[in-house]
Amino acid sequence: MMDEEVEMMEHEHSKHPIEPNADKERMLKRLRRVEGQIRGLQNMVQDDRYCVDILIQISAVQAALKKVGYSLLEHHAKTCVVHDIKNGKEEETLNELMKVIDQYAKS
Segment 80-92 shows an average pLDDT of 94
Within-domain flag for 39: yes
Within-domain flag for 16: no
Within-domain flag for 85: yes
Segment 27-43 shows an average pLDDT of 97
Within-domain flag for 12: no
Segment 18-30 shows an average pLDDT of 83
Within-domain flag for 57: yes
Q: Over the stretch 37-79, which tens digit does the pLDDT of each residue have?
A: 999 999 999 999 999 999 999 999 999 999 999 999 998 999 9
Domain hosting 46: range is 21-106
Predicted pLDDT at 17 = 61
Task: Please provide the DSSP assignment of 6-66 as one string.
Answer: HHHHTSGGGGS---SHHHHHHHHHHHHHHHHHHHHHHHHHHTT--HHHHHHHHHHHHHHHH
User: Could you tell me what percent of the chain has a pLDDT over 90?
Assistant: 71
pLDDT at 97 over 80: yes
Count of CB atoms situated within 10 Å of the CB of 13: 19
Nearest to 4 by CA among 103, 105, 107: 103
Within-domain flag for 49: yes
pTM for the predicted model, two decimal places = 0.73
Write the burial class of residue 14 (CB in 10 Å: 0-12 exposed, 13-18 middle, 19+ buried). Answer: exposed
C-alpha–C-alpha distance, residues 79 and 68, integer Å: 16
Question: What's the number of domains the chain is made of?
Answer: 1
Q: What is the CATH number of the domain that holds 42?
A: 1.20.58.1000
Within-domain flag for 14: no
Within-domain flag for 71: yes
